Amino acid sequence: MSLLTLDNLPTELLYHLVDYLDLITILYSFRYVCKRFQTIVNSFDGYKLDLRSISRADFQKLCHCLSCEKISSISLSNDNHTPKQISNFLSYFSFNQFTRLQSLSLFQINEDNLFTILIHIPRDLLHSLTIHIDYPKIHSHTIAVLLSSTITNLNLIYLNLNFSYRKLDNMSYSPLPLTLKSLHLQHCSFQEYCIILRHIIHLQEFTLIECTIYNSDGTIYQPDENICSRKLTKFSFGACFIRLKELFLLLSCTPMLKYLKLINWTDSLDSLINGSKWEVFLSEKLICLEQFHFIFDDMTHIEQPTMDIESFQTPFWIEQHQWFVVYEYIKSLSKVTLYTMPIHCDSTLTYYLDSKKISLSTFKQTDRRISFDHQVTQMNLNLNETIEDDNNISVC
């Protein structure tokens, strides 16, 4: 029986392995292992070009040896680690050279670079687009119109924007492509939220950071019954301030959710920290929900917390769904936080290890370990207070 080694694996399998390597490794290491690997690298046409953490020397290397027609994905960034990277990249290439481009991600991009890319972007195969501009809003009307027109005419499946939906609403009533299955937006109004759900009928995942519920005159848009999305099964909302009545209005439009993640702050006027009201709402409006993760911060200055956790200890929470919560009062901040376990949040989390905080949990007494889900890549700890010996933290 012959020994199976890397160099005699089937070509299709090697293509799959190459897909997990960065381009520098492929072109300057893997390619020179043997003649067969060189042939495979030369014939492969699905390279993913991710330059977000590349060194300046490697950046120049790649720019001198790239075959544009073999690139299927590009990620560029102007952040502090790679300043002016997008401008430098545009000095080497025009985007109309990337004829097989399927995915494009642009981070901290300025308006001049965005304009240059939009007028040359290949549209035939592009199905994934991420644009994070370097300030909270687009100032140029020309850029806003061009961006709206470009997005409307693409057959996108995934779209991620770090600015308001309103900046797209220049060309049409619904400026998003009907082909979208996954959408990430920084902000929209409640009326715009309803427009999205009504028109993007294939939408399955929606991440929204902020939503303005009230109109400028203080009224609330009244949606009709036809806006309810039947395919949307995953919704993430926050971080932003919202009250319970407003949040229930937002979630009433998504009856088929199976996954819900909320990161919000609230106050005592209509607090989100009310297990009884959540139980009634979820039982009536979100009957398909399987995973429910949240972090709620009550911003009211509280001197004497009530520590009301009993409403989250009913059979609905503990037995039927096994959704366990932790209620914490951080004395140094006079703040109340309620969160589900394990903690689900964005990439950065601030966690308080305060020896004077009061904490109650619906976990069993023997299960006290604090755990975080795999998305947490950076954690800020308050170490000004003495840490108790029984504080266990794990990052999952």
pLDDT in tens, 327-351: 988 887 788 889 998 776 664 556 6
Whether the predicted pLDDT of 391 surpasses 50: no
User: According to the model, what pLDDT value does residue 268 have?
Assistant: 83
* Weakest-pLDDT range from 208-212, 271-275, 355-359: 355-359
Whether the predicted pLDDT of 319 surpasses 60: yes
Whether the predicted pLDDT of 307 surpasses 90: no
Whether the predicted pLDDT of 245 surpasses 80: yes
User: According to the model, what pLDDT value does residue 370 have?
Assistant: 55
User: What is the spatial distance between Cα 101 and Cα 126, in angstroms, rounded to a whole number?
Assistant: 6
pLDDT in tens, 41-53: 888 888 999 999 8
Tell me if 237 sits within 8 A of 213, measured CB to CB: no
Tell me if 340 sits within 8 A of 324, measured CB to CB: yes
Average pLDDT over residues 353-364: 76
pLDDT in tens, 247-268: 999 999 999 999 999 999 988 8
- Give domain limits for the chain: 1-44, 46-346
pTM of the model: 0.87
User: According to the model, what pLDDT value does residue 18 have?
Assistant: 85
Whether the predicted pLDDT of 34 surpasses 80: yes
The confidence band for 2, taking pLDDT boundaries of 50, 70 and 90, is: low
Long-range interactions of 363-366: CB distance < 8 A, separation 24+ = 363/324, 363/326
Residue with tokens 């309620």: 338
User: According to the model, what pLDDT value does residue 350 have?
Assistant: 63
Give the rounded percent of residues in the chain with a pLDDT score beyond 70.
85
The confidence band for 165, taking pLDDT boundaries of 50, 70 and 90, is: confident
User: What is the spatial distance between Cα 222 and Cα 240, in angstroms, rounded to a whole number?
Assistant: 22
The confidence band for 157, taking pLDDT boundaries of 50, 70 and 90, is: very high
Average pLDDT over residues 260-277: 91
Instruction: Name which of 179, 301, 185 is nearest 238 in CA terms.
Output: 185
User: According to the model, what pLDDT value does residue 22 have?
Assistant: 87
User: What is the spatial distance between Cα 241 and Cα 263, in angstroms, rounded to a whole number?
Assistant: 9
User: According to the model, what pLDDT value does residue 388 have?
Assistant: 46
Tell me if 318 sits within 8 A of 324, measured CB to CB: yes
User: What is the spatial distance between Cα 184 and Cα 301, in angstroms, rounded to a whole number?
Assistant: 33
Residue 302 sits at φ, ψ, to 5 deg, of: -115, 120
User: According to the model, what pLDDT value does residue 331 have?
Assistant: 80
Whether the predicted pLDDT of 369 surpasses 70: no
User: What is the CATH T-level fold of the domain 46-346, as seen in this structure?
Assistant: 3.80.10
User: According to the model, what pLDDT value does residue 171 have?
Assistant: 45
Give the rounded percent of residues in the chain with a pLDDT score beyond 90.
51
